[in-house]
Amino acid sequence: MSNNKSAPVETKIVMADPTALGVFGLSMVTLVAGSQKMGWTSGVSSIIPWAVFLGSIAQIWASSIDFKKNNYFGATVLGAYGLFWAAVALHWFFSLGMLPEGVKVDPKHLAFGCIGYTIFSLFIMIASFETNKVFAAILVLINVLLPSLALSIYGINEPLFKQLAAWSELGISALGFYATGAIFLNNFFGRVVLPLGKPFGFIRKGA
């Protein structure tokens, strides 16, 4: 008797690299938020959609794909900063008076959040030195932005730290746009069109 049972067919879903989209989301939201800190635009209400869709959803979605692709660095970084922008957007929403009457928002909660993310970002910055130089520069600026935001919220030399936060945010945006273009073009053409810079090699990875 012949065996007519066919062997099971394994289907593998191949997913593209989501990093360009995630970094683009970061670039856009820091550009829009930085414009407000520089005084080129006013208020935070119109920044909320950019924080929700570009800063949060785009990065969290890219993070979920990176988890499936076993990209530990990308998944952790994009997911963490995507959640940061979701929390910031909600904080701004509440600060605009969207809570019940009499309920006030303490801006220092956001300052403590920035401090917590500064601690997290220091670890990420160390790892970023072994990815590429553009990502490393972005993380250095993030570690300038977050404590500057916290100090300005606390009212400690607010003019200075607000300007420092604004310029670092615009720097993150500029580097992020370059990284987005480099990742997109390099993946599309299958070769290095725009270099991101080799890792510094300060810390050797294990086998």
pTM equals 0.90
Domains and CATH numbers, the chain: 19-189 (1.25.40)
Neighbours of 4 (CB within 10 A): 5
Whether the predicted pLDDT of 197 surpasses 80: yes
Average pLDDT, the chain: 92
Share of the chain above pLDDT 70, in %: 92
Whether the predicted pLDDT of 59 surpasses 80: yes
d(CA 91, CA 85): 10
d(CA 202, CA 200): 6
Asked whether the beta carbons of 162 and 152 are under 8 A apart, the reply is: yes
pLDDT at 19: 95
Whether the predicted pLDDT of 129 surpasses 60: yes
Q: Tens digit of pLDDT for each residue in 84-107?
A: 999 999 999 988 887 777 678 888
Mean pLDDT of 60-66: 96
